Chains A and B, each alone.
Chain A
């Protein structure tokens, strides 16, 4: 089946540094990818919709300058957490639909970010 690969699975960084998370669709092309954030014991919160070749669409309350999204190719989207702070520590998950009818979404393995 379709696979979405996310890397790294875990990262620890110091406050003030930036971290890049990659999301790749391995066996299909994804013009649109989605980035979610999940707090402990809570549901997934959509952060932004990443569109290949154009600017990402951010959900209300998500700082676009802090969470930089780049979707440079049909198989890769990146999320960069800039000037990270401890409150940015969370579980980040990407997903993509394999088909244009949005009948099934595939998710990356998630990235556990810890900012110290």
Chain B
């Protein structure tokens, strides 16, 4: 079945450092790909998404490109801030009506000043 593999954390960075969180997927069809962010004690917020190959999702300085050839959707940010500290989830939607998202295990990011 479809699955998402996400790099293990935690990731600890200093402010203004470059961030990469790796995400790869397996899917039989043509999925949409997402990054969600979760702050402590809260639900998930959509960070960015891409619905087809070569699409680049971007938001708040974060970017991820849907790479079908490498089945990847790595999250990047050029300069992280303390406020970016959160848990990041890579997710896949098989784009079938009534089918839930499939999540990676999540990566905890801690940014220190």
A contacts, CB < 8 Å to B? 6, 31-32, 34, 41-44, 46, 49, 51, 93, 95, 100-110, 112
The answer to whether A102 and B96 touch across the interface, beta carbons within 8 angstroms, is yes
- A110–B38 Cα gap in the complex (Å)? 11
Q: How far is the CB of A113 from chain B (nearest CB, A)?
A: 13
The answer to whether A107 and B45 touch across the interface, beta carbons within 8 angstroms, is yes
The answer to whether B98 and A32 touch across the interface, beta carbons within 8 angstroms, is yes
CB contacts (< 8 Å) of B69 on chain A: these are none
Given contacts A102-B96, A105-B34, A109-B43, 5 further A-B contacts (CB under 8 A): A34-B101, A42-B105, A43-B104, A103-B49, A109-B42
The answer to whether A93 and B98 touch across the interface, beta carbons within 8 angstroms, is no
The binding surface of chain B is classed by DSSP as loop
B45 closest partner in A (C-beta) = A107
Known: A41-B108, A43-B106, A44-B89. A93 touches B44 (CB 8 A): yes
The answer to whether B100 and A110 touch across the interface, beta carbons within 8 angstroms, is no
CB contacts (< 8 Å) of B96 on chain A: these are 102
Please give me the 3 A-B residue pairs with the lowest Cβ-Cβ distance, nearest first: A110-B43, A107-B44, A107-B43
CB contacts (< 8 Å) of A43 on chain B: these are 89, 103-106
- Chain A CB within 8 A of B95 CB: yes
The answer to whether A49 and B98 touch across the interface, beta carbons within 8 angstroms, is yes
Q: How far is the CB of B32 from chain A (nearest CB, A)?
A: 5
Q: How far is the CB of B42 from chain A (nearest CB, A)?
A: 6
22 CB-based A-B contacts, threshold 8 Å: A6-B43, A32-B98, A34-B100, A42-B105, A42-B106, A43-B89, A43-B105, A44-B89, A46-B100, A51-B98, A93-B43, A93-B44, A100-B97, A101-B95, A102-B96, A104-B32, A104-B46, A105-B93, A106-B46, A107-B45, A109-B43, A110-B42
